[in-house]
Amino acid sequence: MAIRGQSVQVGPWTGGVNYAVPAEDLQPNELFSMENMRVGVGGEVFKRGGIATYNSSAISGTPTVTGLVEHRFSASSSRGYVIAGAKIYEDNLSASFTDRTSSMTITAGDDNTFAFANFRGDLYATNGVAGDTLLRITAAGNNAAAADVDSRFTTAKTIEVFDNRLWWGNLSSGVDRVWRSDLADATAYGANAFFQVGEDVTALKKIGNALSIHTTESIHLAIPTGNAALPYKLVQRANAGSVGERCIANVQIPGSGEVVIYVREDGIYQFNGDAAQKISWKLDGERYWESLNKARLHKSFVVKYPKKNELWFWVPNGTDQTTMNQAIIYDYVRQIWYGPFTGVTRNCGAIINDEPHFGGHSSGRVFTHESSTLSDNSGSATSGIDAFLETSSPTPMGTDVMLRWLFLRTSFDVLGNYDVLVTFTSPGIVGESATINMLGGFDAIETAFEIAASSISSDASLASSDTDLGGYDPTIKVRYSNGSSEEDFRIRRASAVYKPLGRVRKSGAGIT
């Protein structure tokens, strides 16, 4: 029977998640909240990939992993490297670890995290810890050796390759100094081949034809001059730099070119070589950024995931949280936010075999994220991914017009024979829940499918399901959730049908 009514649609969610604005003031293409889900290229929302253990057994002593990198020595030779406890291990990219520490000194410690650089095929690594070795590995199968820096310094917190030179920052010889090697030679350093910026150097990152030198209060650029006697000039370009050496990345953004994106205590910023601007305003407020432990943001880190145009910023959520316990995701092409990805604690990360891998706290393990299995494996147990999304709360006729809600039509991809919980709420409606099946009316192959009778669903067929609504209120918000293992769901959009009752004066707030 036809129902006469009007409808309001939320989704596709091409605007990502917006934690800064109340649900009633969000755009229909924005999400109020979400967890362990990402926004697809069409604005659909679906579960993130699963997590699996990378190394089959934990490293002896279950140390915290403090360094992780895939290094390319040449076009035909690549290896992974894992630093855990007091050891550096070579990985043949199939989770076979070989100790390459030799006589090098590495001090175990959860905060003794490493920065890496590839200079002309050689791997360089540093953690900034006094007494530890500046590391260098020159070929696959070789043990680590001490990097030769001409006795200019013994420690460095940050490292970068720019203009065919190796650059080191925040040094034992001066926390505000940046040393550069000779051209094409990382073992030779001129007597005056350094800059002194007057503040503690926090990060180095190349951008275009310059090197950006970050402190918490400024960004300087080292710009080539073409003069052999004075090869670079130093100019200050912005007043807001990165808080740490690992929470910074450079990416290419359509229409903007190359930019550097990095974490500060008040949010995440973008530097285009001329000016810095905040890009994380949708994360502001008590629903997200205010809940982070600002005192630990200097240990946050970012991994760039080129396959999906994503930056994964691992941050400490909880005012007393000391470890990085979730990742908030930035799609740098579409310039939207989604996540966070929760439920795990990580200490470092890298792209290995084209997929994100992360080192665990006190586990002696590396974990493969975005696994094809939709479950989380912590090394001892497997659980489902607890995922949800919450839509905006549209007021289709304004907050002064009372509506009678009739039903909700959800459009989704047909992915399997399992249920998703749908909950709808508003200030004037008690939260009610129902389930929708992700088969979308198609027969399950294992139990109900009949040859020549049942319809066949193609991959990711679009289907719809209706859920009865009830109650009276000018607005409504919908939540979709599923926490089961190996059960994906992908929501495209939702339309809520209502009948307007006119402008009715309410006697008070809440349920009437």
Helix (H, G, I), strand (E, B) or coil at 294: helix
Lowest mean pLDDT across 379-388, 465-474, 501-510: 501-510
Looking at residue 299, what DSSP letter applies?
G
- pLDDT of 240 higher than 80: yes
* Mean pLDDT score, 98-108: 98
* pLDDT at residue number 449: 39
Structure tokens at 102: 């030799």
Q: Which range among 88-102, 115-129, 184-198, 421-435 shows the weakest confidence by mean pLDDT?
A: 421-435
Q: How much is the pTM?
A: 0.94
Query: What pLDDT is attached to residue 507?
Result: 67
Q: What is the mean pLDDT of residues 130-150?
A: 98
The model's confidence at residue 454, banded by pLDDT at 50, 70 and 90, is: very low
Q: Bin 199: left if φ > 0, else alpha if -120 < ψ < 50, else beta.
A: beta
| 285 has pLDDT over 80 | yes
pLDDT at 290 over 90: yes
Lowest mean pLDDT among 307-316, 421-430, 445-454: 445-454
Structure-token pair, residue 113: 């995290």
| Mean local confidence (pLDDT), 286-307 | 98
pLDDT digits (tens, 9 = 90+) for 165-181: 999 999 999 999 999 99
Mapped onto helix, strand or coil, the DSSP state of residue 6 is strand
Candidates 3.40.50.300, 3.30.420.40, 2.60.120.260, 1.10.10.1150; correct CATH number of 6-48+388-502?
2.60.120.260
pLDDT on residue 509: 58
Give how far Cα 314 sits from Cα of 47, 231, 262, Å: 18, 37, 12
Distance CA 497, CA 23 (A): 19
pLDDT in tens, 412-440: 999 888 999 999 988 877 778 999 998 86
Helix intervals (H) in 421-472:
none
**Chain mean pLDDT for the chain:** 93
pLDDT at residue 450 above 80? Answer: no
Strands 387-391 and 31-35: antiparallel
3-state helix, strand, coil in the chain (%, to 5): 5, 50, 50
pLDDT value of residue 429: 78
pLDDT at res. 167: 98
Does residue 508 surpass a pLDDT of 90?
A: no
**Percent of the chain scored above 70 by pLDDT?**
94
Tell me what pLDDT residue 158 has: 98
- pLDDT average, residue stretch 87-113: 98
In the chain, where are the structural domains located? 6-48+388-502, 261-379
Strand ordering across the sheet containing 50-53: 346-352, 355-360, 366-371, 50-53, 376-377, 382-383
Instruction: Provide mean pLDDT across the span 391-419.
Output: 94
Which DSSP state fits 291?
A: G
**pLDDT score at 416:** 86
Instruction: Kindly report the backbone phi and psi dihedral angles of residue 479, in degrees, each rounded to the nearest multiple of 5, phi listed first.
Output: -125, 130
Which range has the worst mean pLDDT, 279-293, 333-347, 460-474, 480-494? 460-474
The region of weakest confidence among 394-403, 418-427, 440-449 is: 440-449
Query: What is residue 426's predicted lDDT score, i.e. its pLDDT?
Result: 87
Q: What are phi and psi of 262, to 5 degrees?
A: -155, 165
What does the pLDDT look like over 49-77, one tens digit per residue? Answer: 999 999 989 999 999 999 999 999 999 99
